[in-house]
Copies of this chain bind each other. A is one copy, B any other.
Amino acid sequence: MSAPKRSILTMNAFELADGKPDGLLARRLANVGAASVLFYREPIEMVSAKGAWMHAADGTSYLDFYNNVPSVGHCHPRVVAAVSEQLGVLNINTRYLNERTERYLDALKAKLPERLSNVVLTCSGSEANDLALRIAAKVTGDTGVIVTENAYHGNTAAVTAISPSALIGADPPANVATVAPPGRAAYGEDIAGGFRDAIERAAADLEAAGHGLAALVCDSIFSSDGVFADPSGFLHGAVEAVRARGGLYVADEVQPGFARTGSGFWGFEHHGVCPDMVTMGKPMGNGYPMAGLAAAPAHLGAFCADVGYFNTFGGSPVAAAAGQAVLDVIEEEGLQPNAERVGAYLFERLLSLAEGSGTVAEVRREGLFMGIELCRDGDLARPDPELASATIDGLRRRRVLIGAAGRFGNVLKVRPPLCLTLEEADFFADALGAELAVR
A contact set with B: CB distance below 8 Å: 6, 10, 12, 24-25, 27-28, 30-39, 43-49, 54, 57, 67, 69-70, 74-75, 77, 79-80, 83-84, 87-99, 102, 105-106, 109, 117-120, 123-127, 130-131, 133-134, 155-158, 160, 165-170, 281-282, 287-290, 297, 300-301, 303-313, 315-316, 318-319
Nearest chain B CB to A141's CB is how many angstroms away?
15
Contact A311:B155 (CB < 8 A) given known A97-B28, A305-B168: yes
Grouping DSSP codes into helix (H, G, I), strand (E, B) and loop, the A interface class, with mixed when no group exceeds half, is mixed
Assess the B35–A300 pair: CB atoms within 8 A: yes
Nearest chain B CB to A417's CB is how many angstroms away?
13
Residues of B close to A125: CB separation below 8 A: 312
A84, B306: Cα distance in complex, Å = 40
Residues of B close to A157: CB separation below 8 A: 130, 133-134, 156-158
Assess the A90–B48 pair: CB atoms within 8 A: yes
Assess the A33–B95 pair: CB atoms within 8 A: no
A80, B156: Cα distance in complex, Å = 30
Nearest chain B CB to A126's CB is how many angstroms away?
7
Q: Which of B124, B156, B168 contacts A158 (CB 8 A)?
A: B156
Nearest chain B CB to A173's CB is how many angstroms away?
13
Contact A306:B38 (CB < 8 A) given known A84-B87, A301-B33: no
A46, B318: Cα distance in complex, Å = 13
Assess the B45–A308 pair: CB atoms within 8 A: no
A167, B48: Cα distance in complex, Å = 45
A308, B123: Cα distance in complex, Å = 20
Assess the B123–A123 pair: CB atoms within 8 A: yes
Residues of B close to A167: CB separation below 8 A: 306-307
Most chain B Cβ neighbours within 10 Å, of A35, A127, A308, A312 = A35
Contact A37:B123 (CB < 8 A) given known A155-B309, A168-B308: no
A315, B6: Cα distance in complex, Å = 22
